[in-house]
Structure 1
Amino acid sequence: MPLSLPAGGHLAALALSLTVTLGGTAAAPASPFGPQAPQNPATAANGAATMHGDSASSGTTPRPGPGTSAVDYSRTALASACPTVVVGSDGYVIALCTTIFGQTPTVHLLDPVTGADLASLALPKGSLFGGVYAYLDNADRLVVVDGNNNLVRVGHRRAGSGWTLQIEQSTPLGNAVPAGDNIVGLTPDWEGRVWFATSGGVIGTVDTGTGAVRSISTGEGVQNSISTVPGRTAVATDHALYLLSAGPDGTPVVDWRAPYDRGPARKPGQLSWGTGTTPSFFGPGDGTEYVTIVDNAAPHGNLLVYRASGGPDPICRIPVLTQYARSGTEDAVIASGRSVFVTNTYGYPYPALPEGAPASQPSSASFEGGLSRIDVNAGGTGCSVVWNSPVKSAALPRLSLADGKIYTVSVTGPTGSAGLNTFAQYHHSVLDPATGAQLTSSFLGIGLVYNPLQMRGTAAPDGTLYQGTETGVVRISKR
C-alpha cells in the first residue's frame, strides 16, 4: 500500500446512545517500541485491564495478536454495543455493553474457547457514560459506576454447571456527583484509590475500603476517560489537560493545567467539542515520562506532548494527519517508547450522538481515515512525523509489543451514514508500526453487525483478539 513519508518523520458515549439505529504474561518486545507502561497493582494484567489496555491508556499490549497468517473469526450477538472488552487472569472475557433497545448497561461473561455468552448482569440505567469506561481489578472484578452513582465491583464465579455474575462490592459516591451530572471515566491509582471524572468537570477519588470520597470541580466538561501512573493522574477537559496528584486525605491536587486549542466547534467525526482523546502516558525510560493528547484545532488537530514531571508548556505541538485538507480524532492514541500513533476520525459517521452534543462545523464530511506516526526526538525537545498511512481504521488500533504489529479493523466501501451500517465492508487489518505499511487484511463481514464504532480490540493470552462492535463482540484467532 502506498505511503506518504514526510521529510521530518466518547467514543463510546455513542455506543450508549444507540436507540433507533439498527437497519497475561508480558513478553519481550519484538519491536523497538516500549517499554510497557508500569503495571498498576490495582488492575488486572496490562494489555487487557481497560479499554485502552492499562491505566496509563497506552493503547499497547504485552500479548501477541493473531499475526499475519490466516484467521478464523466468530461473532457473539448481544444486541448491544460493547465498548469495553477485558480479559481476566483466568482467561475469561468480560464485556461491558449497552443494549441497543433500552440502553441498559450490561456485563457479559464470554467463554474464552467459543466466545459464547455464559452469563450477564444488567446494571441500573443512568447516564449514557455510566456504561462505557470501566476497568478490571486485580481480583478479576469489573469496576464500573452504575446509574445510581454507586461504584460497583462485579465478579464472576461458577454456579453449578454454569456461571454467574454478581456485585461483590458497592460504594456510593453520594453528593460528589451533582444532580444531573454523570461519571465519564474512572481508573485506580497505585494506592488503590479509584479516581473518577464527571461530564460536568468534577474530579474525585474514592477509597472503597473506607467509603471516603474526595473531589474538586474544574468547571469544565470531561468527555473522555482518565489515566494514571505512579503518583500522577491525567484528565483532559474540553478546555485543558490537567495533571493531578492526591493530597494526604485523597483530595485531588492540580499540579498543572495546560489549556489547548479547542477549535471553533465540534468537528464531524467527533462526539464533543474539544479533544477527543483520553490522555496517554508514555516514554522510552519507564513508560511515564510524557503525557499526550490531540487538540481540536482547525483545520488539523495538533499532537501535544508534555513532560509529566514538568509543567504546562508542551515539548512539542505538531499538526497531525495533514495529508488531508481537514483532520481530527475521537480516538485515544497509541503511545509507546518515543512514538505516538494518531488515527483520523474526521467525518466518521456515528449512527447517533450523545445527548446535548453541539452542532458540528461543517455539518458533515466524508470519512477518509488514515493514521500517522509521530516520534519525540531523543533529547525530548521536539517531535516529527515519521509516516502517514491511508488505511481507513474504523476501530481504535492497538500495538502489540510482543509481536511488533498494530491491529485494527479497517473499512472499505460506502461509509456514509447509511452505508456504514448496511454496505460497508470490514476487515481485520495488521500494520507495520515501523513503516505504516498494511501487512495483511482479512475480510470479516458487511454492515452494522461488524461495525466497531471506533472501539478498541483486546488480545487474550493465547493471541485471540476480541473486538467490540455495534451489536456484540467479534472473536478473531489465528487459524
Structure 2
Amino acid sequence: MFERMGRAAATAALSMTALLIFSTGTATAGFGSLPPANPHLGPPGTATMHGDAESSDATPFAGPGTGSVDSDFRELAAACPTILQGADGMPQALCTKIIDRAPTVFLLDPANGQPLASLDLSKGSLLGGVYAYLDSSDRMVTVDGSGKLLRIGHRRDGGDWTVFIDSATDIAQAVTGHCGGGDCDAVSSVMPDFDGRVWFATDNAVAGFSDPAIGVARSIVLGPGEKVANSISTAPEGVAVATTHALYLVDVDSSGNPRVVWRQAYDRGPARKPGQLSWGTGATPTFFGPGSGTEYLAITDNAVPKENLLVFDTATGNRICSVPTVDGTENSPIGAGNSLFVAGTYGYPYPAVPEGAGPSEPANAQFTGGMVRVDVTGAGCRVVWTNKALSAAVPRLSVADGKIYTVTRHTVIPTGSVGLTDNFRYTVIDAVSGRIEAEKLIGATALHNTLQMVGTISPDRTLYQGTMSGLFRIAPR
C-alpha cells in the first residue's frame, strides 16, 4: 500500500496510526509515554534495533496477540539481528553471513518476508554488522569495514528492486586516529542525536560523531582499556554509551567537540558470565521516564550472584536505585513510563562469542532465564513481578496492547543443559502481571535459534524476528 503513496502521505499515515494505537494502548495498558521521537530517524518503533533513539525496546504498535498466528521462516544463510521498517512500509534487515561473517542488507517483501534485493558490505568488526538505523528518508545508516559511514537506499527499477549506497562519508580518521590508523579499531554502533549529528562508538571505547552540517568527524577516547559491546542511545540530553567498565553521558562542547558530561562506574564482576558476549554490562543504555520520557537512564551491571538494575538521573548522573534482578543478562532493559523490564540470559548457549570476549566463569551453566519488572517510584525502585520465562530473544513491549513479545527456548530432552533438541516458541507475556498468556511452537532446529536477537513489530501487527540463519515473519491469522 505504502509503495503507491507519496512519502509524505505514507509518513503521515504511519504517524497517525502510531498516535491512535498509542493513545488507546496507554489508556488500556497503563504505561506512560514513549520517549520523544528523533526527527532524524524513521518511524518510532521500527527505525532502530531497540525501537527508537532512546533504546526503549517499546513500540506504539500492537503485536500479533494471543490468538492464532501464522509463522513463516525465511532462510537467508545469515544471522539477522537487525530488522527495521521505514515510513514506506518496506522491511530491511542487516544480517551477517554465516560463511564469511560479512554484513548484507536485505530488502524484504512486506507481504511475506521474502528478500526482494540485497547488498553486500565490506566486513568490519562483528558488531559493525549488527547495529544500524533508518534515517528520515528510509535509508539504512551503518559503517562498513573500510570506515565509511553509509546511507543505503532502495528503489524499484521497472519490476525489480535494488539496494544501493546512496552516500558514503569517510570517518576512518576519527575512528582509528587514536591508535595509529588501519584496522586498529572499528565502529560498533551508530545513532543520530537530536541535532542530526551521527554519533558512533567503537570497539575500543572511542565515542564521536560525523556532522553533516559542517562535514567533519570528531571523537574522544572514553576510557583506556575499556570496550564497547552494545549499542549507543541518544536523547535530547545527550548520548549514552555503556562500556565494559562504566556508563557515560556525552554531548558536544562549545567548541564543537565531543565531551563527557558524566561517568558512572559499575560492578563488572569477576569475569564474563555464561550467556553473555562480553565482560561487563550486557545492556544497551535505556532512556525512559514518566514525564519527558528521558529523565532516567538504565543499564544492568555484572554483579555476582545477581545482576543489579541500575537507574540514574539523566541530567546529573546521580544513581536513583540499584535493584538485584536476574542471574545475568545480555539484553537491554525495556523502558516505558516508570517501568523497566529485564530478561535473564544466564547460561544461554551461543555457538560462538566475539573475539577477545574472554572465558566465562563458570565455563558453562544451565539457561535459567527469568524476567523481572521494576517500577521507579518517589521512594526509589521496587520489584513488581518476576516470572520464569526462558526468553531467547530481546523482548519487545507493546504499549498499545500491554503485551511483551518474545521467543522462548525449551528443552525437549533434559540433559542438564540447553541442547540441540530444544525448540523455540512465539511467546506473549502480560506486562501488568508477568503472566505468560500464549506460547506457540515456531521452530525446532538450530536454524531457528533466535540467539537473543530483537524482534520488530510493524504497524500491521507483524513481528519480524531474526535467527542465526534467517528470520521469522509472525502475523495474526
TM-score between the two structures when normalised by the length of structure 1: 0.91
Match of residue 159, structure 2, among 155, 158, 161: 161
Q: Alignment partner for residue 101 of structure 2, among 100, 103, 111?
A: 103
Larger RCO (CA within 8 A; separation ≥ 6): 1
Kept after mapping to 2: 8 A contact 1:263/1:297: yes
Q: What displacement does 1:211 show? A: 2.7
Q: Which residue of 1 aligns with 2:466?
A: 468
Does the 8 Å contact 1:350/1:417 carry over to 2?
A: no
1:317 is aligned, of 315, 318, 322, to: 322
Q: Verify the 8 A CA contact 1:349 1:417 in the aligned structure 2.
A: no
Q: Distance in 1 between matches of 2:215 and 2:145?
A: 18
Q: Secondary structure of 1:315's partner?
A: strand
CA positional deviation for 1:423:
1.4
Tell me the amino acid that sits aligned with residue 244 of structure 1: V
CA shift in 2, pair 1:110/1:56, >3 Å: same
**AA partner of residue 341 (structure 1):** F
1:194 aligns with 2:192: no
Q: Deviation of residue 72 (structure 1)?
A: 0.4
Q: Is the CA contact 2:295–2:315 (under 8 Å) kept in the aligned structure 1?
A: yes
**1:240-286 per-position Cα deviation (integer Å, ceiling 9, x unaligned):** 11011212454212111111000011111101111000000000012
Equivalent pair of 1:290/1:306 in contact (CA under 8 Å) = yes
Map of 1:377-388 to 2, 5 A cutoff? 377=377, 379=378, 381-388=379-386
Write the deviation string for residues 169-228 of structure 1: whole angstroms up to 9, x where unpaired: 111113212242111111001110011111111100111344300111012211111001
Cα deviation, residue 448, structure 1: 1.7
CA distance 1:87–1:419, change in 2 (3 Å): farther
Looking at structure 1, the residues matched to 413 and 353 of structure 2 have their Cα atoms a distance apart, in angstroms, of 17
One of 79, 83, 87 as aligned partner of 1:81:
79
State how far apart, in whole Å, the 1-side matches of 2:214 and 2:41 are.
19
Aligned counterpart for 1:269 among listed residues 266, 271, 275: 275
| Deviation, structure 1 residue 396 | 0.5
291-300 or 445-454, larger mean C-alpha shift: 445-454
Deviation at 1:33, TM superposition (A): 1.2
Task: Tell me the residue number matched to 2:4.
Answer: none
Residues 137-159 of structure 1 show CA distances to partners (whole Å, capped at 9, x for unaligned) of 00000000001010100001001
Aligned equivalents of 1:418, 1:117: Cα separation in 2:
39
Deviation at 1:421, TM superposition (A): 6.8
Change (3 A) 1:415 1:164: farther
Measured after TM superposition, the shift of residue 362 of structure 1 is 0.7
Q: Which runs of 5+ in 1 are unaligned?
A: 1-23, 322-326
What one-letter code is carried by the residue in structure 1 that aligns with 2:227?
A: G
Q: Is the 8 A contact 1:75 1:474 kept in 2?
A: yes
Match of 1:427 in 2: 425
154 and 416 in structure 1: CA distance in 2 versus 1, 3 angstrom threshold: farther
Whether the aligned pair in 2 keeps the contact of 1:86 and 1:93 (CA below 8 Å) is: yes
Matched-pair contact (CA < 8 Å) for 1:409–1:428: yes
Which letter does structure 2 place at the counterpart of 1:198? T
Pair 1:453–1:72, CA change in 2 (3 A): same
With normalisation by structure 2, the TM-score equals 0.92
- Alignment: residue pair count: 448
Structure in which a larger fraction of residues adopt helix: 2
Instruction: Tell me the SS of whatever aligns to 1:273.
Output: coil
Q: Distance in 2 between matches of 1:224 and 1:190?
A: 20
C-alpha separation between the residues in 1 aligned to 2:113 and 2:360?
Answer: 38
| 3-state secondary structure, aligned to 1:184 | strand
Partner of 1:36: 34
Cα distance between partner residues in 2 of 1:419 and 1:298: 21
Aligned-pair Cα RMSD in Å: 1.5
Superposition pairs of residues 62-461 of structure 1, within 5 angstroms = 62-178=60-176, 179=181, 180-218=184-222, 219=224, 220-311=226-317, 313-321=318-326, 327-377=327-377, 379=378, 381-413=379-411, 422-461=420-459
Aligned-pair distance for 1:136?
Answer: 0.6
Other structure's SS at 2:128 match = helix
Tell me if structure 2 keeps the 8 A contact 1:261–1:297. yes
Counterpart CA distance in 1 for 2:76 and 2:432 is 37
- 2:127 aligned counterpart, secondary structure: helix
List runs of 5+ in structure 2 lacking aligned partners. 1-13
Q: Give CA deviations for 1:392-415 in whole Å, capped at 9, x if unaligned.
A: 000000000111110000111159
Counterpart Cα distance in 2 of 1:271 and 1:48: 25
Q: CA deviation at 1:329?
A: 0.5
| Contact 2:74/2:471 (8 A) holds in 1 | yes
Is the Cα contact below 8 Å between 2:139 and 2:151 reproduced in 1?
yes
Q: Which amino acid is the alignment partner of residue 281 of structure 1? A: F
Partners of 1:119 and 1:205 in 2: how far apart? 30
For the 8 Å contact 2:365–2:417, the answer to whether it is kept is no
Residue identity opposite 2:306 in structure 1: H
Deviation at 1:309, TM superposition (A): 1.2
Contact 2:367 2:418 in 1 (8 A): no
Give me the whole-angstrom Cα distance separating, in 2, the residues matched to 1:256 and 1:107. Answer: 36
- What is the rounded CA distance, in whole Å, between the counterparts of 2:356 and 2:229 in structure 1? 12
What is the deviation of 1:417?
11
CA contact (8 A) 1:171 1:208 kept: no
Structure 1: distance between partners of 2:285 and 2:256: 21
Shift of 1:231: 3.1
